[in-house]
A and B are shown apart, each in its own frame.
Chain A
Amino acid sequence: MSTTTGDMAGAPRLFTRKATGLVREGKTRDALFYNVMWSSVALTFAFYWLFIGFYPGSNALLGVAFAAILGVPGAFLYAMLTQVMPRTGGDYVFNSRALHPSIGFAANFSYCGWLALVFGLYSTYIASYGFGAFGRTMAGFTGSHGWLEFGEWFSTHWGLFITGSVVLLLSAALFAVGGTRLFFKIQVGAFALYVIGALLMPALVGLFQSHSGFIANFNSYAANLGTPHAYGKLVGSAQKAGFAPTKFSLEYSLRSVSVFWFIFGYIYASTYFAGEIRLQKRVHMKSMPGALLLVVVALFVMIPTFTHAASYTFNGMLGVAEPAAYGFASGAPAYPEIMGIASGSAVLGVIMIVGFTAGLLIWLPQTMILISRSMFAWSFDRIMPDKLSAIEPRSRSPLLAIAIVLVLAIGSTAIYAFTTWFSTLAILLGLTFTLLVTSISGMVLPFTQKAMVDASPYARKVMGIPLFTLVGGFSFLGFATAIFILLWDEGSGASLSKDPGKIELTGIVYAAGFAIYFIARAIRRTQGIDLSLAHRELPPE
């Protein structure tokens, strides 16, 4: 039907008519939900307390604030780029069009390569901090040696690998059996568990439990694991390892940005499904910067409530002490188990661990979708073989692409289970490098794609500088600062001082992307297909 928009005061307005495609804009909360979910708030929160030994004197609230500030311009830039180029493939499309197809492919190939490596991190954390923590929690509340042995197996090399591989196989099987439809149904339930178990309940327990009450519960729990007076033993072991309460350190608060960058550098995931439905400007603006704001609020609630029960000092000692000394032989506990102990309830403890694990489990198929969609885009543009984008009719999933992701993910699980090649945060350097390239695309877009920008809602200039260039410039500063911190911080696993090989590896992966593109271009040329035409702009005049 014909409709009008605008106020009723006789002011200019928009007249529309009967036509397909005039759908209501996608609800902001759906994209917001997606971005919040993929940014792994709970996992990152666990990282900070597990790695606090690397950041003595740091303040978590400051670390969150610094990381968020670095990520804010990027969130706006991704929202703007998604609005003007709402295609499946996200940065692959942005960089291919704004810079060059080879740069777009290499950057996206690099991003997907590093994402494939992150699978191992999640799958092994599911084993040790999901199933393993569940077994230990049951033992801690019941005194059952069987539960303890059950839990400890998941932290062995084979326990990590087998469990990680099984959950990956199950994630891939989701697509083979029921496609994305089944996945999304499961995702809803898993997300509810995640929010309740991993975010809300720990905050409530932390709010209502005192530190002394927590210590009493900790001793009781460890006694059931076979170690009486565990808190005293923790203090002794920590002191032996050189632990001493530290004053506030701005430097280490800055370094801790490495940890929180795990969230704020990657909170734009809805860009990858924007191509499947046209969403309006405000959806992206609210869902990307909005997700960032929501996560900051969540962390600003979680941090003080957590430290109310389990203090910085307690976690600092956990970070340096020998776990076996205080009864946690298979490793220091992550925050869900700590808050389970604080609650003094096996039921609440299990709910928190299940919620935390659900968050990790959601991430696996979600990331399979993201990578397989990128592969789809490469194949669509004929850089990769057609079969890579073939959709299996029954499940409507690109099964070959998912199978390739599965193989890579299991390989990554083996790396994390059996080696120490990559620390938890090491992958952030490679991932952030792609963001840096995207920020350059943002800066140059008004010049390389002038018409596209002129026709967009972001055509205006601020002090003579195109808005895209300005936001791209600030994004570049944010991403470059994050890279600087990753290279500076010895706890990042990618520092120049301790891990110089990681920056070389980042370069090698990127170079491999370029090599693949130009090899593909040469092969396609023999078939009469010119890959450079895929994104070449036709002149309108």
Chain B
Amino acid sequence: MALRLWRSRGSEGASKPLRIYYASDIHGSERLWRKFLNAAKVYEAPVIVMGGDVTGKAIVPLVEQPDGGYEMDLFGHRELLSGEEQVKDAETRIGANGMYPHKMDYEELAAVQAMSEQEREIWFADVMLLTFERWLTLADERLAGTQVRCFLMPGNDDPPGVDQAIERAVRVEACDDRIVEFEGHAMISLGYSNITPFHSPRELDEDELYRRVDALACQLDDPASAVFNLHVPPYDSTLDNAAELDGDLGVVMQGSEPKIIPVGSTAVRELIERYQPLLSLHGHVHESAGAKRIGRTLCINPGSDYHTGRIAGCLIALRGSDVRHQFVTG
């Protein structure tokens, strides 16, 4: 597909801009992962970055029946599945919604139901990692023979074990908590978020978050040409507006609408204001997609609609100090 992005910009010389595709928060949707891998080709982006929260939040048991079929409960509808085709179709539907299909018998189901919360978290991580490893294998296959650089980091929702799996991948490059370089740009990444009401696996208080990012940023030779890839958006940037939750995780309503408050990180904001990188990429807050300048830094949050089967992303072209963006829903 011919894509002529940013072709008219001549002020930075005739060099071709570096095109980056950024997406985040696909939350276990295999369909979106596949789309992400294809974005490099479709959008002609030699660098693709997945900004965290790649794993899902729910497992849908496919419970084996005496006749060899399976029973599942999806969106409150109980379905009996018979034959390989029906089972595969069900697995696709479950995966498309960011959940993991898991075949089990009634005995295992009862065992999982009887687990403590902590035991079930471990069981969940094991099931999830099986799928995640397969995703990474798929990426290795899809990206083999290309020059595409594919960066991936876990987000605050991703449990332990994801990091190691990424490290083992061949064509997918780990970038969390380190500096990576591409085409003359350095990128620092951190998948941790500030503290949320959910107590998700990767959360840090603001001071520690600042310290971790600052430890990377201070190593940059030229912060002005750098890219920050920080899962949590800067505080009060309009990229971090989300519904306020009460102590019971219920949505706080104001009149007839949810009360919206900034939930981003003050540390991230301070770091952007201090180092003024060229570009800052964020996810985390699904409902607050947008682009915002903080000083000279273009901050992007493409948002996420992972459960719709469409991947919310952003195309970014870097040429010298010039940066342009276009949101795309693929």
Chain A contact residues, CB within 8 Å of chain B: 1-2, 4, 6, 10-24, 26-27, 30-31, 33-34, 37, 84-87, 97, 180-181, 183-185, 187-188, 191, 273, 275-278, 281, 380-382, 386, 389, 391, 393, 396, 451-452, 454-455, 457, 459, 525-530, 533-541
Q: Distance in Å from the Cβ of B251 to the closest Cβ of chain A?
A: 5
Binary A-proximity of B167-204 (CB < 8 A = 1, otherwise 0): 00000000000000000000000000100101111000
Q: Contacts of B290 on A, CB cut-off 8 Å? A: 380, 389, 391
Complex Cα distance A454/B90, Å?
Answer: 10
Pick 18 A–B contacts, CB within 8 A, sort by A: A6-B73, A11-B63, A13-B61, A14-B99, A15-B59, A17-B57, A17-B121, A19-B57, A20-B198, A20-B284, A21-B57, A24-B250, A181-B254, A181-B259, A386-B291, A396-B241, A455-B97, A534-B326
Residue of chain A at shortest CB distance from B251:
A26
Complex Cα distance A183/B157, Å?
Answer: 34
Q: Which of B4-12, B208-216, B221-229, B268-276 contacts A (4 or more CB under 8 A)?
A: B4-12
Binary A-proximity of B32-75 (CB < 8 A = 1, otherwise 0): 00110011001100000000010001111111000000011101
Q: Distance in Å from the Cβ of A204 to the closest Cβ of chain B?
A: 25
Residue of chain B at shortest CB distance from A179:
B260
Q: Judging by beta carbons under 8 Å apart, are A380 and B327 in contact?
A: yes
Residue of chain A at shortest CB distance from B125:
A17
Q: Contacts of B149 on A, CB cut-off 8 Å? A: none
Give chain B interface residues in 264-320, CB to chain A under 8 Å: 284, 286-287, 289-291, 305, 307-311, 315, 317
Q: Distance in Å from the Cβ of A357 to the closest Cβ of chain B?
A: 18
Q: Contacts of A540 on B, CB cut-off 8 Å? A: 31, 34-35, 38
Residue of chain A at shortest CB distance from B284:
A20
Q: Judging by beta carbons under 8 Å apart, are B287 and A393 in contact?
A: no
Complex Cα distance A401/B38, Å?
Answer: 36
Q: Judging by beta carbons under 8 Å apart, are A185 and B254 in contact?
A: yes
Q: Which of B7, B9, B109, B328 contacts A534 (CB 8 A)?
A: B328
Q: Contacts of A526 on B, CB cut-off 8 Å? A: 8
Residue of chain B at shortest CB distance from A7:
B73
Q: Distance in Å from the Cβ of B11 to the closest Cβ of chain A?
A: 13
**A2-B117, A393-B238 are contacts. A12–B72 as well, Cβ < 8 Å?**
yes
Complex Cα distance A26/B250, Å?
Answer: 8
Q: Which of B39, B57, B201, B256 contacts A16 (CB 8 A)?
A: B57
Q: Judging by beta carbons under 8 Å apart, are A12 and B63 in contact?
A: yes
Q: Which of A27, A452, A527, A533 contacts B309 (CB 8 A)?
A: A452
Q: Judging by beta carbons under 8 Å apart, are B57 and A85 in contact?
A: no
Residue of chain B at shortest CB distance from A96:
B329
How many residues from B make CB contacts under 8 Å with A?
90
Q: Judging by beta carbons under 8 Å apart, are B255 and A185 in contact?
A: yes
B218 is an interface residue with CB less than 8 A from chain A = no
Residue of chain A at shortest CB distance from B124:
A17
Q: Judging by beta carbons under 8 Å apart, are B309 and A455 in contact?
A: yes
Q: Distance in Å from the Cβ of A178 to the closest Cβ of chain B?
A: 11
Q: Contacts of A180 on B, CB cut-off 8 Å? A: 254, 257, 260
Q: Judging by beta carbons under 8 Å apart, are B243 and A533 in contact?
A: no
Q: Judging by beta carbons under 8 Å apart, are A277 and B251 in contact?
A: yes
Q: Contacts of B113 on A, CB cut-off 8 Å? A: 4, 10, 13
Residue of chain B at shortest CB distance from A281:
B75
Complex Cα distance A113/B254, Å?
Answer: 28
Q: Contacts of B62 on A, CB cut-off 8 Å? A: 12
Q: Judging by beta carbons under 8 Å apart, are B75 and A457 in contact?
A: yes
**A18-B200, A528-B6 are contacts. A276–B260 as well, Cβ < 8 Å?**
yes
Q: Distance in Å from the Cβ of B85 to the closest Cβ of chain A?
A: 14
Q: Give me the 10 closest cross-chain CB pairs, A-B, nearest first.
A: A184-B255, A538-B330, A528-B6, A455-B96, A2-B120, A538-B35, A540-B34, A34-B256, A457-B75, A184-B254
Task: Given A281-B75, A454-B96, output 17 extra A-B contacts at Cβ < 8 Å.
Answer: A2-B121, A10-B106, A14-B58, A16-B58, A18-B199, A19-B200, A22-B198, A184-B254, A184-B259, A187-B256, A273-B257, A382-B326, A382-B327, A451-B309, A455-B93, A525-B4, A538-B35
**A19-B157, A22-B57, A528-B324 are contacts. A30–B39 as well, Cβ < 8 Å?**
no
Q: Distance in Å from the Cβ of B315 to the closest Cβ of chain A?
A: 8
Q: Judging by beta carbons under 8 Å apart, are B106 and A539 in contact?
A: no
Q: Judging by beta carbons under 8 Å apart, are B327 and A534 in contact?
A: yes
Majority SS at the chain B contact face: mixed
Complex Cα distance A97/B328, Å?
Answer: 12
Residue of chain A at shortest CB distance from B158:
A19
Q: Judging by beta carbons under 8 Å apart, are A23 and B308 in contact?
A: no
Q: Judging by beta carbons under 8 Å apart, are A24 and B255 in contact?
A: no
Q: Distance in Å from the Cβ of A512 to the closest Cβ of chain B?
A: 25
Q: Contacts of A538 on B, CB cut-off 8 Å? A: 35, 38-39, 42, 311, 330
Q: Judging by beta carbons under 8 Å apart, are A276 and B258 in contact?
A: yes
Q: Which of A22, A380, A533 contacts B249 (CB 8 A)?
A: A22
Q: Distance in Å from the Cβ of B121 to the closest Cβ of chain A?
A: 5
Binary A-proximity of B73-84 (CB < 8 A = 1, otherwise 0): 101011000000
Q: Distance in Å from the Cβ of B301 to the closest Cβ of chain A?
A: 11
Q: Judging by beta carbons under 8 Å apart, are B3 and A533 in contact?
A: yes
Q: Judging by beta carbons under 8 Å apart, are A30 and B257 in contact?
A: yes
Q: Judging by beta carbons under 8 Å apart, are A84 and B308 in contact?
A: yes
Q: Judging by beta carbons under 8 Å apart, are B57 and A276 in contact?
A: no
Q: Distance in Å from the Cβ of A379 to the closest Cβ of chain B?
A: 10
Q: Contacts of A382 on B, CB cut-off 8 Å? A: 326-327
Complex Cα distance A37/B257, Å?
Answer: 12
Residue of chain B at shortest CB distance from A17:
B124
B141 is an interface residue with CB less than 8 A from chain A = no
Residue of chain A at shortest CB distance from B115:
A2
**A10-B109, A24-B251 are contacts. A15–B120 as well, Cβ < 8 Å?**
yes
Q: Distance in Å from the Cβ of A438 to the closest Cβ of chain B?
A: 17
B156 is an interface residue with CB less than 8 A from chain A = yes
Q: Judging by beta carbons under 8 Å apart, are B253 and A27 in contact?
A: yes
- The winner among A37, A273, A528 for most chain B CB atoms within 10 A is A528
Q: Judging by beta carbons under 8 Å apart, are A19 and B77 in contact?
A: no
Q: Contacts of B198 on A, CB cut-off 8 Å? A: 18-22
Complex Cα distance A19/B201, Å?
Answer: 8
B110 is an interface residue with CB less than 8 A from chain A = yes
Q: Judging by beta carbons under 8 Å apart, are A14 and B327 in contact?
A: no
Q: Contacts of A4 on B, CB cut-off 8 Å? A: 113
Q: Judging by beta carbons under 8 Å apart, are A396 and B249 in contact?
A: no
Complex Cα distance A257/B147, Å?
Answer: 63
Residue of chain B at shortest CB distance from A392:
B238
Q: Judging by beta carbons under 8 Å apart, are B251 and A23 in contact?
A: yes
Q: Judging by beta carbons under 8 Å apart, are A530 and B3 in contact?
A: yes
B245 is an interface residue with CB less than 8 A from chain A = yes
Residue of chain A at shortest CB distance from B246:
A24
B144 is an interface residue with CB less than 8 A from chain A = no
Q: Which of B7, B253, B327 contacts A381 (CB 8 A)?
A: B327
Q: Distance in Å from the Cβ of A45 to the closest Cβ of chain B?
A: 21
Complex Cα distance A37/B256, Å?
Answer: 9
Q: Distance in Å from the Cβ of A40 to the closest Cβ of chain B?
A: 15
Q: Distance in Å from the Cβ of B111 to the closest Cβ of chain A?
A: 11
Residue of chain B at shortest CB distance from A524:
B326
Complex Cα distance A13/B110, Å?
Answer: 11
Q: Contacts of B165 on A, CB cut-off 8 Å? A: none
**A12-B71, A539-B42 are contacts. A533–B256 as well, Cβ < 8 Å?**
no
Q: Judging by beta carbons under 8 Å apart, are A535 and B256 in contact?
A: no
